[in-house]
Amino acid sequence: MWDDPRIINRISSFLIVLSVAGLVVGLFSTISQFERFEIKKIIVKGDLQEDTKKYLQRVIRDELTGGFLTISLSNSKQILEQIPRVRAVNINRKWPNILEINVVEHSPLARWGENRFVNNIGQIIEATASKRKSNNLPFFQGPDNIASEIANLYLRGNQILESSGREIVSIKVNNRYAWEVKLDNEIVLRIGKEKHLRRLMMFVKLYKFAEAASDKKINYLDMRYEDGFAVGTTS
């Protein structure tokens, strides 16, 4: 019998089938064992607003699937980072059954239009904040594609204005890309389409002279002149 190649081939094929079947059974058994390691606790860390926490909890409950060993950390990270107010997520397993989720939230720098926000790196946030907090934020308005430029002018502009005791409360850019900056004393600075920081520096140098020379309330200063500015006052 052992001299018959056909019989030997059949026995070899049978043994191969048995081996493959054993591997499949073993694999399913291993997966079954993995699934038995349930996630008993999920810890969310981060300085988060209350509405963001609630939204995170709902997404974690409804969309993250798998056991302690089988859950995909990369897929879970991707799902959570799609939440509008979430900037970055890092997920770690803590033996034997804890999932730790560290969340970095977008921090609104200003209101953007009627119902959006922009952060300090110029990213527009499609989200809501409490009315109390949003009313305390400066107001930006302009084309979405220059949000980062507006945020940058606000941050750098306030540094320039610090010595004058003034602060920016709003920046508006119209559809012709002409910029206006409103200060906390209600004065509007018309700074045009270019040289924005230079014109703010000029304001700091010359504003006291304009204020002293006028006996009327100043409404706006047109800073688009090379060596000075025009003053608009209440009649």
The answer to whether residues 151 and 198 belong to one domain is yes
The answer to whether residues 86 and 116 belong to one domain is no
Model pLDDT, residue 92: 93
The answer to whether residues 46 and 160 belong to one domain is no
Residue 75 exposed, middle or buried by CB count within 10 Å (0-12, 13-18, 19+): middle
The answer to whether residues 162 and 229 belong to one domain is yes
Q: What is the pLDDT along the chain (235 residues), one digit of tens a residue?
A: 445 555 545 545 544 554 555 555 444 455 555 455 688 888 899 888 787 888 888 898 899 888 888 888 999 999 998 887 788 999 998 888 889 999 988 788 999 988 889 988 888 887 655 544 566 899 999 999 999 999 999 999 999 999 889 999 999 999 899 999 999 999 999 999 999 999 999 999 888 777 776 677 888 889 888 777 788 877 6
The answer to whether residues 152 and 200 belong to one domain is yes
Q: For residue 200, what are the domain limits? A: 108-233
The answer to whether residues 89 and 204 belong to one domain is no
Counting the structural domains of the chain, the total is: 3
The answer to whether residues 167 and 58 belong to one domain is no
The answer to whether residues 180 and 225 belong to one domain is yes
The answer to whether residues 56 and 128 belong to one domain is no
Three-class SS string for 179-196?
A: EEEEECCCCEEEEECCCH
CATH number of the domain encompassing residue 202: 3.40.50.11690
CATH number of the domain encompassing residue 96: 3.10.20.310
The per-residue DSSP string of the chain comes to: -TT-HHHHHHHHHHHHHHHHHHHHHHHHHHHHHHHTS---EEEEES---HHHHHHHHHHHHHH--S-TTTS-HHHHHHHHTTSTTEEEEEEEEETTTEEEEEEEE--EEEEETTTEEEETTS-EE-----HHHHHTS-EEES-GGGHHHHHHHHHHHHHHHGGGT--EEEEEE-TT--EEEEETTSPEEEEETS-HHHHHHHHHHHHHHHHHH-SS-EEEEE--SSS--EEEE--
Q: List CB contacts of 177: < 8 A, sequence separation 6 or more.
A: 143, 146, 193
The answer to whether residues 146 and 208 belong to one domain is yes
**Last residue in a domain, options 61, 87, 105:** 105
The answer to whether residues 162 and 224 belong to one domain is yes
Model pLDDT, residue 216: 76
Model pLDDT, residue 23: 53
Query: What is the rounded distance in angstroms from the CA atom of residue 159 to the CA atom of residue 17?
Result: 75
The answer to whether residues 55 and 133 belong to one domain is no
